[in-house]
Structure 1
């Protein structure tokens, strides 16, 4: 695109972001409905810990003040998915915790079993996410996703 491209009066970036979050919601909803993950599927979900509506224990907010990644694989329970977000039980250093995460706070969703990933900005956040290598919750070892896979990255830059 060039500098001569006019600003859109249609919020395409918001529409695409909403559609990506719907994918996350649908996948998690199917897992919740079926009672577990099929085959080797497992999910890395990255979200902004300080985003509106995020409910996590205080010690996790202190440890991850900006962003954290959780893994849904073998050790999760009580997955509940609604239109605006999801709730899940996870273990952190052998201590159980309940998390509530709005889809608007999610910045990444990865299923390494099939090399699938979605990345997007948290709503209302134009800052780049801080990279981190390890998920915050207890998890079995898993191989990281390889570059060049089925990654959909959405990064719309608005003209100011």
Structure 2
């Protein structure tokens, strides 16, 4: 049997865009409540710091030249969600900072309170698990400012709520 022909429809891009829209919708709901997360929900958002449209302070770009994870839990402010990006205020080492993150720069979104996660494709030459945790300031809550105790989001095959989409070309 011969290999399947390459699709002329960019299914992978369409699915990635739709999944990133889930992140935008969730953040938009939080924004509409004045930035109050319901129940125990909180988010770990990993993004490419060098992606087009990302705006973060120079000191953070120097510390995280490739990828960074932020925590939206108790200490964040001015969450603003637009069609293609969001901005949020966070504190790093007691220094308030505003970050602007396009949804296209996000590589992972996790809500550990309900064991839900989304992972997005990164460029082939980048390994999404090689980065230093952001460590944005928390208020002493366990795990805040850390990404699951410093562990990267793992792809699972055990039926948990982590969604990973990878449309590789067949050879």
TM-score over 0.5 for the alignment? yes
| Structure 2 counterpart SS, 1:30 | helix
Residue 89 (structure 1) aligned with residue 100 (structure 2): no
Alignment match, 1:56: 56
Instruction: Work out the CA distance in 1 between the residues paired with 2:102 and 2:130.
Output: 21
Show the 5 A alignment for 1:3-152: 4-35=3-34, 36-122=36-122, 125-126=123-124, 127-132=126-131, 134-139=133-138, 140-142=141-143, 144=148, 148=158, 149-152=160-163
Paired residues in the alignment total 157
Give me the TM-score of the superposition, normalised by structure 1: 0.90
Distance 2:39 2:142 in 1: 16
Report the Cα distance in structure 1 between the residues aligned to 2:60 and 2:133, rounded to whole angstroms: 14
Name structure 1 gaps, 5 residues minimum: none
Q: Secondary structure at the match of 2:121?
A: coil
Asked if structure 2 preserves the Cα contact closer than 8 Å seen for 1:29 and 1:81, the reply is yes
Instruction: Say whether the 8 Å CA contact 1:45–1:69 is kept in structure 2.
Output: yes
**RMSD, aligned CA:** 2.1
Distance in 2 between residues matched to 1:7 and 1:128, nearest whole Å? 25
**Cα distance in 2 between the residues matched to 1:56 and 1:159:** 38
